[in-house]
Chains A and B, each alone.
Chain A
Amino acid sequence: MEIIETVKGGYVRNMLREGKRTGGRGMMDFRSISVRAGVMPNAEGSAQADVGDTRVLVGVKMMPEDPMPDTPDQGNMITNAELLQLAYEEYEPGPPSPESVEFARVVDRGIRAANCIDLTSLVLEDKKVWSIFIDLYVLNYGGNLFDAGYLAAMAALMNAKVPNYKDGAADHRQRDKSLKIDNIVTSATFGKIDGSVLLDMDINEERIADTRLTVAADGSVIRAMQKGLRGSLTVQEVRDMIGVSMEKHAQLKSVLETAVKEAK
């Protein structure tokens, strides 16, 4: 297996040296993207995003709970990621790995920073608030979890319906209102391999990448960034990546809006 990976890595490097990628993809092109919303009707909201071979399923559940002590006037948003063992031979059982914690926190950060959900609108009576649980399930790893995660999480939230709430209890079988979404955030994740900068790395690219940067943006500003891996970036490279991410936002946003509309 290791030899095959080395060969694939060498192939990717040779192509990049000539400015090419497998499948004739441009350096700043996404692989094919498909988002389907409402795939798990028991959940308040759900969506599956496919970016190339990467597949992430997100389920959103809402439960009445106590607010966090430092934010009594807000609902809670809790994001968790599972790198399921069935998704990749190298995913292992056990407590969350640093990679899965990072994945969940980076998706959470962008959604929070972009104020996609007005958490102050989630306050119920009797000092209870809604807790929104966003669970990211990686079903197949094919490189670039982050952008698939953002798409699936965003679509699942846009697809979510709020359970009716009466006499201190949630009725998950009666969901009359849609969750109010105030903003849409999307991300673009870049890699750097031997000095070449590329968008949306596939599995063979990501395995040999030196550096990774996720830039989450809405229509007007950058909302979150996260660099990963041990390589470095120059200021100019980051500036260029920010530009591309902001430029790609409109395309990704329309994918989300179409998916959510089709689910209705």
Chain B
Amino acid sequence: MGSSLNKPELLKGGKRLDGRGFDELRPLRIEAGVLKNANGSAYLEWGNNKVLAAVYGPREAMPKHVSDPTKGIVKCRYMMAPFSGIDDHGRSGPNRRSTEISKVAREAFENVILLNDYPSGMIEIFMEVLQSDGGTRAAGITAASVALANAGIHMKDMVYSVSAGRIGEHIVLDVNMIEDNYSDADMPMVIAPRNNDILLLQMDGGLDRAQFDQAVKMVLEAGKRIHAEQKRALEAYYGSAEKG
């Protein structure tokens, strides 16, 4: 949260600062299969966010003591590059925020990956935020989901992520950095679209019950567009692979 001294107006003339309507996503573009060494990868641009996701595996779980002979394990790393923000040079290495995000992201992916197909195996998911402008966990998870599919990992669904927030009385979709710093609520979600199962849910700020309902509705509606872009990215990759 930012300082109360310099809180900016987040809405001007019924629009958000970047000109978006309340339920409008920032431009989203995903490219699958961008890295040579990884088993699967995706590059995502979402507004000013630029995120690279890669998947290694399935391979033998290491170190040995984490291995589970009955099912595969998932490792997940979300990290922001030290040069990713417009202001400070961030400290490198994992911090408490990235530790928490890596944990809840891993739990979301564990839900959809068919872990029983990978006994004693390990699937590693890396989400590197190269440029950040709010909503980077949603960007990272949405990209990683495409990278998992690109790696051929068995999944029961391809998840997407986006956050809803509140500015005054308005529920808004896909909260950007300045909105995240000064808004009245922020609620990132991860959804498995087949049944609209909620796999990640975090929230802070203030929402009453009607506002929560409206935020969820907005997320599920936007999810159709996000999911379509994920599919388009994969189709573009495999379409070009067939031709090539």
Contacts and interface: CB of A to CB of B under 8 A. Distances in A.
A72 B2 CA distance: 10
A4 interface: no
Interface in B39-72: none
A74 B7 CA distance: 13
Interface residues of B, number: 41
B107 A230 contact: yes
Contacts of B4: 73-74, 120
Contacts of A109: 204
Place the interface of chain A in its size category: 35 or more
A242 B187 CA distance: 14
B204 A110 contact: yes
Contact of A226 (B202, B206, B216): B202
Nearest to A222: B207
Interface in B168-195: 185, 187, 192, 195
Nearest to A210: B111
B100 A73 contact: no
A98 B196 contact: no
Interface in A101-132: 101-102, 104-105, 109-110, 112-114, 120
Interface in A210-233: 213, 220-233
Contacts of A228: 104, 107
B202 A233 contact: no
B124 to A, nearest CB: 16
Q: Which of B87, B192, B195, B205 neighbours the largest number of chain A CB atoms within 10 Å of its CB? A: B205
B96 interface: yes
Given A73-B5, A102-B103, A223 B201 contact: no
Contact of A222 (B195, B199, B212, B220): B212
B99 interface: yes
B219 to A, nearest CB: 10
Given A101-B96, A101-B100, A242 B209 contact: yes
B201 A213 contact: yes
A166 B104 CA distance: 45
A99 B213 CA distance: 29
Contacts of B24: none
Contacts of B187: 225
A235 to B, nearest CB: 5
B201 A225 contact: yes
Contacts of A246: 209
B1 interface: yes
A71 B3 contact: yes
Interface string B201-228: 1111111110111001000100000000
A243 interface: yes
Contacts of B201: 213, 225-227, 233, 238
A105 B110 CA distance: 22
A230 B208 CA distance: 26
Contact of B202 (A227, A232, A243): A227
A221 B100 CA distance: 24
B84 to A, nearest CB: 16
B164 to A, nearest CB: 12
B102 interface: yes
Contacts of A229: 107
A177 interface: no
A173 interface: no
Nearest to A231: B111
B200 A227 contact: yes
B35 interface: no
6 contacts: A71-B3, A222-B212, A223-B205, A232-B111, A234-B197, A243-B209
Given A72-B5, A105-B97, 20 more contacts: A71-B3, A74-B3, A74-B4, A96-B99, A99-B103, A102-B104, A112-B204, A213-B201, A220-B208, A221-B208, A223-B204, A223-B206, A225-B201, A226-B104, A227-B202, A232-B111, A232-B199, A234-B195, A239-B212, A243-B209
Interface of B: 1-5, 87-88, 96-97, 99-100, 102-104, 107-108, 110-111, 185, 187, 192, 195-209, 211-213, 216, 220
